[in-house]
Amino acid sequence: VKPVLLILFYLLLSAALSADEPLNEPILPIADKQNSDPKLLSLGRKLFNDKRLSKDGSISCASCHALNKGGADGRTVPVGIQQQLGIINTPTVFNSSLNFKQYWDGRANNLSDQIDGPIQNEAEMGSNWPAVIAVLKQDPNYQKKFTQYFDNGITITNVKKAIVSFEHSLITPNSRFDLYLKGNKKAISADELTGYNLFKQYGCISCHQGMAVGGNLFQKLGIMKDYFADRGNITKADFGRFNVTQQEADRFVFKVPSLRNIELTAPYFHDGSAETLDAAISTMMIYQLGVEPIKSDVQLIAAFLKTLTGEYQGAGLWNTEK
Amino acid sequence: VEHRKIITLFVSILLIMLLAVLTWFFVNVHIDYQFHQTRIEKIRHIQQEVSDLVRNSLLVEKGELQHFDDVAHNQQKLENMLHNIAENENTQPLISATTQIIATVTQIKSSHAIFRNSLLYFPRGVATLRAELVNSPFASIIEKLNILERDVTQLIITNSGDQSKNILNAQVDAIRMAESDLPEHLGSSIEQLLRHTRVLIEHSIKLKALNKQLLNNNVNTGVQQLLDIYQNDLQHDITEADTVRDRFYFTIFLLIAAVTFIWWKQQETKKALLEEKISADKANQAKSEFLSSMSHELRTPLNAILGFTQLLENDAEAPLNDAQKVNISYISNGGKHLLSLINQVLDLSTIESGKAELSIEAIHLSHSIENAIQLVTTLAKESDINLQVGIGPDVYIDADITKLQQVLLNLLSNAIKYNEKGGSVTIDWAITHTGFIRIKIHDTGIGIAQRHQHKVFDAFNRLGQETSVIEGAGIGLVVTKDLLELMGGTINFESEEGKGSTFWFELPLTDTNIEYSHSSIQSAIPNLFAHQDEQNLTGPKNILYVEDNSANRKLMQTYFDKWPEKVNLQMAETAEIALEILSKKQFDLILMDIHLPGQSGKDLTQMLRTHPEFKNLPIIAITAAAMKNDLSLANGLFNVYITKPLDFVYLTEVLKKYL
């Protein structure tokens, strides 16, 4: 009798232990840690929301990277100063620190370099650094805060440091899928799990993997079928990484975007052409995976993708307006 | 000494500068060394990161890593590292090799994703198609599918490359030919599968090539090349540091040697200076002794000259006629002048040896000026100079009366001497706002040339008057200045050549205004026995005069001849003779010369004082040894000390007291 009981006990113990054991999956949970200095971070947040950083004072970083809109603007293309339209869909600022490059074409190696873009883009904030610094220097509040943190006060580098510090805090851990990955098998439903398995079987996982579920490689749009021929009306922005490298092989190549919080960041793709998640998944299946989309599978995959919505500052982003 | 000091200073500064330069070099080499070491570390980090990148990339391909996060992370880090190294011909191979490998990995990721995706699809696609074809009229295609499946599997397992590519492409083409009359859904399924097959073929070959690139990368070569150069630089730094350090130590050694040498030299100089000082002191002592003996030698004959002159002038029994008076006055004046010169020399040496003694008291200034004026009136008349005493406040000043007289006489006589016939000398005085009295002596004389003015107070400098008829030793003003400074005063002058000079001196005013009585200067020798005539008529006084100089003996004899009944003067040429006389006869008083041949007057006196008989006998020293040293030596031995040349008025007063 005793050996049987021992074996039974052992089995129960191992089951109990394995319950919370992290899973070995191609997607990694977001590490919930924040290294930013709170003071610098709050200075960065202030700058991020400050419209004076644009030429006419009408637009801040947050105008297009609205934290209540999944870190983006919900538009096909952004609207800059004087209602100018942008040329490419706004990527989310959430988890941007997890990307190995910034922008759709990856032309910035890091967040600090990325900031130069929107500030100086005529169709976005339309300003320049000397103007920005001059504006900030007029504000005694900024003077005080910068002097508190930096020896040399308000400089381009320090403004960037503050904003980057804030951006590093914009990670969204504790999505239901992350809880599942950490070992909580009940965190996602059976359908969602089926969706994840389909995600892997179809090969979505080949590109959308890692902590950000993407964001760590470039890929051509239209591997199995010519996306742009079908869509038509090709613009310079469609050339993607080609605009950076001038290599023919990089034409129509883009950074694979992260799928974290994907349900909040419609419309999708660099051209914002997909209004819904289902449409985006279908397009991906046709042009990237070379399979005919099956509606039920698409819906299951969409269900899985919605488990990737995480928390910001302890509150679930799933509560934000969609 | 100055020369040597400058050299040692120069050498020290040179060495310290050298030390500073070497320190600077050393710091520079150290900075270089650190820079070169950091450079090597950077390169090693790149090498490590590249190796990690290659490993992680291979792990992804083997399926051991299911995501690209690590690879992407390696890529990002490498890009930052490349950003932080300067591009030049040395680093260029490494930079391009690393950039190449990053590009390769970027392609691998993309290619791997595509390949993996088609690999997932392929068996599923084959299975689906096969199922659709089985019961269709196109079952024959299944055979071709099987071959395709087998060969694709083969391609993937063996990764055999180009040959397989051709075979497979042929198969794909064959299947495509067969599908021409297929129904649409079958056709598109086959097309889909064939597209994936082509992707598999293409990307398996591409991945193979990329992996080859990955493994045969030139990063290690680049790193090695760079390390060779950098290590060389580092070695160079170390060698240079060693050299600089050696030089540094050598310089420190030199510096220590120099400092030691300087110290040693200084000790030597100190010793030499000490010796110099000792010899200078000796020389000074010798000078003092010389001056002392000179004054003795000069005063002795002068005593005779002035003494007899006085006697001649004052001899009532045989008065001089007018011509004789004039002649005698020349002798008297010449002697007096010579005496004043001797006194000046003596004063100077006394003051300069710091042995001058002052007795500062409240002095009625106008009296002193009056006295001085009286003394120079004759001189002024002779030179046809109009002597004017200006007005000034009636004050008392703190000074030594004799020294003040000396100062006034000096300045007044200068003003008269260095004047022109018909010129004038004016003296006036006023209180300064600083509480001093300023006495001005203005003359309309020849003045002092601008070029001589800075030498006015230099000893033995007669300012170009050396060849003139005006008498002088060139020390009067030096003594004057020294005396004034001793009394806490100052002296200065203004002069214009040909127009005259104004000398002024300042002395402190006396705080309280008390009346002081002043004895007038007496010129006539009083009667020695004026009072005694009535009171006591004791017999004649026995006086012994010990003196070797016959002229002086004669002078004294003549003086006492005024009272032949009252004084019995006896003379002794030497101490020995004096002793003999003393042993035979009693005396009321002894006049003792100090400098005697053989036993000195001082020694004789000392001997006499040991005998009770002579213990209280008045002994008056009469000597030309007017140096203070002599006076201090004789202190307590003699009752009175009288210096030659004899002032008979004074002598008379002294004698009155002791007889």
DSSP B285-354: HHHHHHHHHHHHHHHHHHHHHHHHHHHHHH-SSSPPPHHHHHHHHHHHHHHHHHHHHHHHHHHHHHHHTT
Helix, strand, or coil here: A220? strand
Choice among A237-246, B91-100, B102-111, B350-359 with the minimum mean pLDDT = B350-359
Strand pairing class (B436-443; B424-431):
antiparallel
Residue B152 scores a pLDDT above 90: no
CA dist., res. A172 & res. A316, Å (int): 9
Q: Given A27, A100, A206, which is nearest B116 (Cβ)?
A: A206
CA dist., res. B312 & res. B282, Å (int): 44
In the residue annotation, A21 being an active-site residue is answered as no
Residue B516 scores a pLDDT above 60: no
CA dist., res. B179 & res. B599, Å (int): 165
Residue A244 is predicted with a pLDDT of: 94
CA dist., res. B497 & res. B456, Å (int): 13
Virtual torsion, Cα B410, B413, B417, B422, nearest 10 deg: 150
Q: Given B66, B76, B199, which is nearest A100 (Cβ)?
A: B76
Q: Is B127 on the interface with A (CB under 8 A)?
A: no
Residue B514 scores a pLDDT above 50: no
Reported as a single tens digit per residue, the pLDDT across B313-342 is 888 788 888 888 888 888 888 888 788 777
Which pair of tokens denotes residue A79?
Answer: 């609207």
pLDDT tier, A211 (very low <50, low <70, confident <90, very high otherwise): very high
Q: What percentage of chain B exceeds 70 in pLDDT? A: 87
Reported as a single tens digit per residue, the pLDDT across B611-641 is 888 888 888 888 765 554 555 455 667 888 7
Tell me how close the Cα of A98 comes to any Cα of chain B, in angstroms.
9
Residue B633 is predicted with a pLDDT of: 54
Q: Is A27 on the interface with B (CB under 8 A)?
A: yes
A contact residues 130-169, partner B, Cβ 8 Å cutoff = none
| Contacts B75 to A, Cβ<8 Å | 100
B contact residues 48-77, partner A, Cβ 8 Å cutoff = 66-69, 71-73, 75-76
pTM of the model: 0.59
Phi, psi torsion values for B395, nearest 5 degrees? -130, 165
Contact A25 B192 (CB under 8 A): no
Are the C-beta atoms of residues B29 and B241 closer than 8 Å to each other?
A: yes
Q: What percentage of chain A exceeds 90 in pLDDT? A: 81
How many Cα atoms sit within 13 Å of B648 on the Cβ side?
A: 25
Residue B610 scores a pLDDT above 80: yes
Residue B20 to residues B13, B234, B248, B654, Cα–Cα distance (Å): 10, 24, 9, 81
Instruction: Show the CA angle centred on residue B492, arms to residues B488 and B496, nearest 5°.
Output: 170
Comparing C-alpha atoms, which of B541, B571, B568 is closest to residue B554?
A: B571
- Identify the helix (H) or strand (E) that includes residue B507: strand B500-508
**Which residue is it, tokens 């975007």?**
A257
Q: Is A24 on the interface with B (CB under 8 A)?
A: yes
Strand pairing class (B619-623; B589-592):
parallel
Mutation target to probe the A interface, by most A beta carbons within 10 A, among B84, B99, B109, B198 is B109
Residue B595 is predicted with a pLDDT of: 77
Q: Is B122 on the interface with A (CB under 8 A)?
A: no
- Identify the helix (H) or strand (E) that includes residue B443: strand B436-443
pLDDT tier, B164 (very low <50, low <70, confident <90, very high otherwise): low
Which pair of tokens denotes residue B649?
Answer: 């008025």
Residue A159 to residues A64, A66, A91, A310, B623, Cα–Cα distance (Å): 19, 20, 22, 28, 105
Mean predicted confidence (pLDDT) in A8-22: 64
Q: Is B195 on the interface with A (CB under 8 A)?
A: yes
Identify which of B287-291, B362-366, B438-442, B592-596 has the greatest average pLDDT: B438-442
Residue B530 is predicted with a pLDDT of: 64
Residue B624 is predicted with a pLDDT of: 64
Helix, strand, or coil here: B465? coil
CA dist., res. A128 & res. B631, Å (int): 103
Contact A224 B196 (CB under 8 A): yes
ipTM here:
0.89
Contact B75 A27 (CB under 8 A): no
Residue A231 is predicted with a pLDDT of: 92
Q: Which one is catalytic: A124, A167, A263, A311? A: A124
Reported as a single tens digit per residue, the pLDDT across A132-145 is 999 999 999 999 99
Residue B18 scores a pLDDT above 60: yes
Q: Given A209, A211, A249, which is nearest B66 (Cβ)?
A: A209
Contact B120 A201 (CB under 8 A): yes
CA dist., res. B426 & res. B466, Å (int): 26
